[in-house]
Structure 1
């Protein structure tokens, strides 16, 4: 895991970002590498080659659910940043990262017993849990089957280590489920695995692929800190966002007993200031009983927790941007910088 100090000290000796343009929307960033992205998107589907029709049906169902393809977009931007030309290898790697991400979502939906994702029925709801789990396993296995084709042991090592970290992050989250004693460090360890690690793999893998060892640390730091910020922002929005835009009800994470930063910090602050409110939130975390969901959401909001979490997300965003300052200044770095701004703008 990279550290904030690493990113900060490196940034102190590098030029500041010169491309701090106004925030654009996601489609504008995608347009920077539109041709590469379109080819990659087709490869995500084209890489499925199971002889079992059910595997193909379920895989196509979950991939068709769409999503922004943010991880492969980052891979493609990093590749162009290294060398401004179309790279078949980079597009294959981007498709592999999306395949791994899709597999984690399938498994998450089973664990969370989710019936809908992005407005569509989940695989476990459409078929059943065993089918969804096994197809998720297939997607991971297929991703590694494709990784072997690069004939790069360092790349395979990066992805195999990273996939272990992802699984450990998910198990660590389960370990702390309904645990009111979970700490901020527990939370950071969880999101390092379940969220940030794949962003790091999507960036660091490009440095290996393009033989740019000097970019390995900045790419890794960017992926790590961007992933941290992205997850913290998501967790803040569980207490302050728009239910329709998010595709889930506010407070769902609390009901599921997930150890998210807003809840952890709220418990910490309330324990010092209001024992009655602390006990109310602690019992809700322990039991998952949120009959008064709006009351609990308001309790977290008024505790001061969300202000703290917003600042932590912005801190991680700044660290991601500092990592970018060590890279060549071009439109692809600008696209990555704009992604960080677009993500943090969700806090407004």
Structure 2
């Protein structure tokens, strides 16, 4: 009979192991609102932050702070119950109608977070005996949603359409669901959505698109990746997050009306949780107005992306091909990546080091994210510092 393991000793030893591998996660305490210039509790002077997903610079927008204040005055600060009990307010309903119209779908369902949306949708659509086909670098919430469904979980190499087609062809599952990010969060590239939809149509499969990093950035008026590609189909299920480009909080799933009705009755992460505060929905209605009218912000953001890419002169490190605000600089070694991140920090620039298991082993990177709130001068400073650090290894 094996000796029992002391879990406290095991955790202490495991923490030492992840320290040695350069994989310990640490939080930094931010002392100012989300903005390109951030105050941090662990240093006396502010830093230029290239790490948030606030792509349109709306997180600290004064008009949204005012909308939140008005929402609190109108609706209070809590919903009191789940949506299916008494926690679904008129402003939630208005937001869902507006979101569906914004992305060109029949209906939408508002969730408290994108993670809750993803782990709630897949188990409601497929189960034992069915099959989920997922891009290998999908976000962790999509992986967890697939595992919770208990369907067969079939992964295909990143954006490899031929491999996906072969797996779909070989599957005898009665229900099939293809799942993909639209913009991959650590690489910044776009999924081949038109081709994925064609495969879904050919195999009578669902296509679930997680547009966390495309909503508000891509497509006319920021209507997202489906609008960017001009896609429409009853087989499409669309998930968008509201805490990134929209600048606030939450997420939504949009699709055919019957699909949304089904999720209301079957999505456990929607049914069994307290509804998000209605003041958030009130604020999001104003955020949608700013997104829809945000072409100037998006034009400036695209100009910043182009300037960053044109200015880098890398030989040892690799800038991955991306036309989105996510600009990954792959360094490789965990310890070197951490050292470069610390060197940037010493010069007043905050870019986080991303390491396994978030990215593959040997592919540690700096995940640079750009915002419409950044200036050209701030981006130029980042570019010059990265070029110098690469030329003189830390």
TM-score between both structures, scaled by the size of structure 1: 0.26
TM-score between both structures, scaled by the size of structure 2: 0.24
Instruction: Compare the two structures and name the one with the higher helix fraction.
Output: 1
Instruction: Compare the two structures and name the one with the higher strand fraction.
Output: 2
**Looking at CA atoms only, which structure, 1 or 2, has the larger radius of gyration?**
2
